[in-house]
Amino acid sequence: MTQLEAARQGIVTDLMRQAAAAEGIDAEILRARMAEGTAIICHNVKRKNGSPLAVGKGLRTKINANIGTSKDDTSIDKELEKARVAVRAGADAIMDLSTGGPVDEIRAAIIAETGVCIGSVPLYQAAVDKVLRQKKALVDMTVDDIFNGVIKHLDDGVDFITVHCGVTRAVVERMKNEGRLMDVVSRGGSFTVEWMAHNNAENPLYEYFDRLLEIVKPYDATLSLGDGFRPGCLADATDRAQIHELIVLGELTQRAQEAGVQVMIEGPGHVPLNQIEANITLQKRLCHGAPFYVLGPLVTDIAPGYDHITCAIGGTLAAAAGADFLCYVTPSEHLRLPTVEDVHEGVMACRIAAHAADIVKGVPGAIDKDIAMARCRKNLDWEGQFNLAIDPDKARRLRAESGVDEEHGACTMCGEFCAYQVMSDGSRRRKAAAG
C-alpha cells in the first residue's frame, strides 16, 4: 500500500507522523490533505537514510537545490561539497542533474551523503548511456532505454523523479503554430521533442503512462510532472504551448492519483510579475490543487550574475500565491556550472523568498522568528540577532568586519545616533529623573 492509498483509507502511517512532526502539525491534517491530493510525502521506500518530506497545502514552502556534473566538470568531490553546502544552508531537497562523468557513482554518493529528499531526471540517464557510453545519437534511445533509466534511479533510492510526460506531439504543434522566441529551453523537453521528431512517434512517457505508473508505484516515489514547455524568456510566458501542456499534466495527475501514485507539478520559468499569480491559479485549478514546484520564476531576462535575486523576487510572489516548492537559481544561471559559493547564495536567496511567502500564507510559526528578531534589535542584542538570522555566519562576519567590539551597542550605520540607543538612553534618563 502506498502512502496515498493509506491516506485515502484513513490510515495515518509512521511516515505521515514523522513528516507532520517536522511541520508542527497534526498527522491527521497531513493525511487528509494527502488523501485529497493537495499534499504529498516524498520518500522512496528504498531510501535508508532519508527523512520523509511533506510538500503541499498549508505546509512550509520547501526549497530545492540543483547540483550535478556536466562533461566540462565531472568531479564527484565538488558535487558532494555542493550537496553539503546546500544542506547546511537549509535546502530541503537536492536534485542531481549530472550528465558528465560517472553519473551512477555521483548519484549514489549524493544519496549516501545526505538525508534530505533527493530528486533526479531519469531521461538524462538514458541520454548519457546512449551518447557517451554507446557513442550513438540521443534520438537512438529506445522506449526500453527510457524506462530502464527510470528503474535505475528508483532502484538507487531517488525520492522524486522529473518526467516530461506532457511533452506531446500535439503540444509541439501548438508551439509551432503560435511561434515562440526561444522554443524549448527545458533540457529534458528538448530531448523528448527531438526524439519524437526523429522517430515520428509519440512521447513514450505519455503514450505508456500506465507503464510508468506500474514502475513507480512499488517504490512509492513521487512523480514530478515536468514542464517541458516552460517559458525560457518573458516573451514566451503563459502562451498556448505552456498552458496546453499544463492541461495534459492535469489529466495525468488524476490518472496517477487514481493509481495510488503521488504527484506534484513543475512550473515556469521566466514570467513577468503581473502573470505569476495567474500561473499559480491556473495550475491549482487545472491540476486539482496538486502541489506546485516552480523554477524561480525569473521576473526579468537581463540579470545574468544576479538571477538568484530575480528568482527570489518571482519565488516570493509565486509562493505567496500558493506555490509549494521553490527550485533555487544561483548567480551562475545562464552562465556556467555553479560553484560551491553560488550554491550557498542560491539557497539563501530562495529561503528568504520562501519565508517571506510563508508569512503571507499564514504558515504556523512563520512570523515568530521575525517577532523575536525585532525584540533583539530593540534591545541591541547582537548574539540573539545572529542566532535568529537566516545566515548567522554572514551576519557575524559583517559586524566583525565593521571593527566594533561587542561592548559597543550600536552598529556603524548610525553609531551614537542609533535610534534604539537614543530611545534607550532617553528612557533611562526619564526613569532616573522620576526616581
Q: What is the pLDDT of residues 383-420, one digit of tens each?
A: 999 999 999 999 999 999 998 876 667 888 888 888 87
- Does 4 fall in a domain? no
Q: Same structural domain for residues 374 and 344?
A: no
Q: Same structural domain for residues 401 and 334?
A: no
Q: Same structural domain for residues 383 and 348?
A: no
Q: Is 219 annotated as a binding residue?
A: no
User: Nine-digit cell at 17?
Assistant: 507522523
pLDDT, position 408: 65
Q: Is 120 annotated as a binding residue?
A: no
Q: Same structural domain for residues 374 and 347?
A: no
Domain count within the chain: 2
Q: Is 187 annotated as a binding residue?
A: yes
Q: Is 411 annotated as a binding residue?
A: yes
Q: Same structural domain for residues 264 and 394?
A: no
- Does 98 fall in a domain? yes
Q: Is 322 annotated as a binding residue?
A: no
Q: Is 414 annotated as a binding residue?
A: yes
Q: Is 230 annotated as a binding residue?
A: yes
Q: Give CA angle at 372 (370, 376), nearest 5°.
A: 115
Contact status, residue 297 vs residue 270, Cβ threshold 8 Å: yes
Place of cell 510559526: 365
Q: Same structural domain for residues 428 and 298?
A: no
- Does 293 fall in a domain? yes
pLDDT, position 418: 85
pLDDT, position 432: 73
Contact status, residue 172 vs residue 193, Cβ threshold 8 Å: yes
- Does 402 fall in a domain? yes
Q: Same structural domain for residues 172 and 317?
A: yes
Q: Same structural domain for residues 335 and 403?
A: no
Tell which of 299, 329, 361 closes a domain: 361
Place of cell 538524462: 124
The model's pLDDT over 231-289, given as tens digits with 9 standing for 90+, comes to 999 999 999 999 999 999 999 999 999 999 999 999 999 999 999 999 999 999 999 99
- Does 26 fall in a domain? no
Q: Give the residues of the chain that fall short of pLDDT 70.
A: 406-408, 427-428, 430, 435
- Does 6 fall in a domain? no
- Does 10 fall in a domain? no
Most distant CA pair in the chain, distance: 91
Residues 6+ apart with CB under 8 A from 282: 243, 246
Q: In this structure, is the dihedral angle defined by the CA atoms of residues 238, 243, 249 and 250, taken in order, positive or negative?
A: positive
User: Nine-digit cell at 210?
Assistant: 500506465
Q: Same structural domain for residues 295 and 395?
A: no
CATH code, domain carrying 303: 3.20.20.540
Tell which of 323, 340, 361 closes a domain: 361
Q: Same structural domain for residues 150 and 166?
A: yes
Tell which of 321, 342, 361 closes a domain: 361
Q: Is 33 annotated as a binding residue?
A: no
Q: Is 180 annotated as a binding residue?
A: no
Q: What is the pTM of this model?
A: 0.95
Report the DSSP pairing between strands 53-56 and 39-42: antiparallel
Q: Is 75 annotated as a binding residue?
A: no
Q: Is 44 annotated as a binding residue?
A: no
Q: Is 266 annotated as a binding residue?
A: yes
pLDDT, position 410: 83
Q: Same structural domain for residues 275 and 345?
A: yes
Q: Same structural domain for residues 202 and 83?
A: yes
Q: Is 95 annotated as a binding residue?
A: yes
User: Nine-digit cell at 254?
Assistant: 488524476
pLDDT, position 132: 87
Report the DSSP pairing between strands 160-163 and 62-67: unpaired
**What gap in Å lies between CA 403 and CA 405, rounded to an integer?**
7
- Does 282 fall in a domain? yes
Q: Is 186 annotated as a binding residue?
A: yes
Q: Which domain holds residue 104?
A: 37-361
